[in-house]
Amino acid sequence: MKRIVLGVTGSIAAFKAADIASRLVKAGHQVNVVMTTDAQAFITPLTLQTLSKQPVVTGFYDEKQAWCPGHIELADAADLMLIAPATAHCLAQLAQGLAQDTLTAVALATRASMLIAPAMNGNMWLHPATQRNVATLQEWQVDFEGPDPHGMLACGYEGVGRLAPVEAIVARVETILSENRGKRRL
């Protein structure tokens, strides 16, 4: 059993995190979900808690019982960090090394392999700033799955930007875990 930290950001595709969590649990993994405040506008922590069978972290101060900060504990214990969906804002924070919420703090502190599945408007994805942020993260050995190059987006546009299919994300998780890459080297 591998421990996966599933980060969920404020994208309309956040509802697909439920399917991702469910499939990873069914595959025998422990899934710890960390949600941004914006993600909670699209899907409830209770849904993800029920499917992951683990408490969902929604803020820095969720765990007041332990002496060790919860985000560091998660970062240290993770075999893989998956952020799905990842917004342009999240990519920018990660590329700049910002830790303004629990999700980005865990991402900054972990040395686990990282997989990001972006989901956003096509113009946002193709913007030079976003592409620069993706290139920076790839230089740091962060893997990406998607976004889907074709499809209808929630904003009404058609083209690049949709979250990669859940099956593809889960398959990529399994590939990374089976390759036993261990920790990232920064």
The pLDDT tens digits for 127-170 are 999 999 999 999 999 999 989 877 766 777 777 778 999 999 99
Output the CA–CA distances (angstroms, integers) from residue 183 to 25, 51, 76, 82, 163, in the order listed.
22, 27, 10, 14, 25
So what's the architecture of 3-178 in CATH?
A: 3-Layer(aba) Sandwich (3.40)
Q: Where are the domains of the chain?
A: 3-178
- The Cα 128–Cα 135 span in angstroms is 10
- The Cα 184–Cα 130 span in angstroms is 22
Token pair listed for 20: 């991702």
Query: Dihedral sign, CA of 65, 67, 68, 73?
Result: negative
Out of 155, 158, 167, 182, pick the active-site residue: 155
pTM here is 0.92
Q: Is 155 a catalytic residue?
A: yes
pLDDT, mean of residues 95-123: 95
**Percent over 90 (pLDDT), the chain:** 76
